Amino acid sequence: MDPLTVVLVGIGALATSALTAVLGFGGGMVLLAILLFFVDPLVAIPLHAAIQVVSNGTRTVIRRHDVEWSIAVPASALMLPAGALAMPLVVRAPEALLQGAIAVTVLLATWVPERTSLELAAPSRRGWLGVSAVIGALNVVVGATGALQPPLFRAATSSRLGFVGTFAATQVAGHAAKIVLFGIAGLAPTRFAPAAVAGIVGVIAGTHLGSRALDRMPEERFRRLYLGAITAVGAYLLIDALV
């Protein structure tokens, strides 16, 4: 991997983690879209997972006293086995199909919450197990599902801090499962380790910068910038997959 690409991955990780520091979620999906500019989907997904484990792990440690484990545990329980069952689809699917699936997921996860005002009921413990199975399977196919889940966690958690900590803890489990599964399948080549390191450094720096600097930016302005950027990236990926 050439040095310029490594640097650009680090910058992208920094910017998207700063975005997450402001919005609470969404940066991971943007980061995956950015990674697809440089590597194919079968590399982008585990590379993204390695970076996001650190990003979400940092937030989990910071909010460890706010994590509602009665939600986090069942919401994470089936991610690994469900992902293992879905892996054959990933290995056999054409790269263009995977990229198209990621692009569609990015666009739906961005705009459906923007255009609807549905209030979801909090899942039961058995319901959280079902959520973990669905998300575990989708995780390995489309790579980033973080923007699909917040309404459920907001409905179930007792406070804003509980939402942040519990959601981050569940995301750690999901990304860790992807690392394990793609590693077993031999789809996480070590030649991309420099990009992973750059991304990890970027998300740590971005989290600190975002919490200090971006909090001063009006949220509505930042939200418009985010929607414009992620829509442009998602549309590009979809068009590129179809051409």
Listed as own residue / partner, the contacts of 218-226 with beta carbons closer than 8 Å and 24 or more positions apart are 219/22, 219/23, 222/19, 222/22, 222/23, 223/23, 226/19, 226/23, 226/26, 226/30
Taking residues 115-128, report their average pLDDT. 79
Give the DSSP letter string of 181-232: HHHHTT-S-GGGHHHHHHHHHHHHHHHHHHHHTGGGS-HHHHHHHHHHHHHH
Q: 132 pLDDT exceeds 60?
A: yes
The tens digit of pLDDT for each residue in 80-106 reads 999 999 998 887 777 778 778 777 877
Q: What pLDDT is attached to residue 79?
A: 95
State how far the Cα of 211 lies from the Cα of 180, in Å rounded to an integer.
31
Burial of 208 (0-12, 13-18, 19+ CB in 10 A): middle
Q: 42 pLDDT exceeds 60?
A: yes
Q: Pick the closest to residue 138 from 34, 32, 38 (CA basis).
A: 32
Q: 31 pLDDT exceeds 60?
A: yes
| pLDDT above 90: percentage of residues in the chain | 20
Q: What pLDDT is attached to residue 215?
A: 57
Select the more confidently predicted residue: 33 or 144. 33
Mean pLDDT score of the chain, rounded to an integer? 82
- Confidence band (pLDDT; 50, 70, 90) for 21? low
Taking residues 55-61, report their average pLDDT. 85
What token pair was written down for 108?
């739906």
Domain boundaries, the chain: 3-242
- Confidence band (pLDDT; 50, 70, 90) for 73? very high
Q: 219 pLDDT exceeds 70?
A: no
State how far the Cα of 124 lies from the Cα of 24, in Å rounded to an integer.
24
The tens digit of pLDDT for each residue in 148-191 reads 677 788 888 888 778 888 988 999 999 999 999 988 888 766 77
Q: What pLDDT is attached to residue 24?
A: 59
Least confident of 10-24, 34-48, 194-208: 10-24
DSSP code, position 143: S
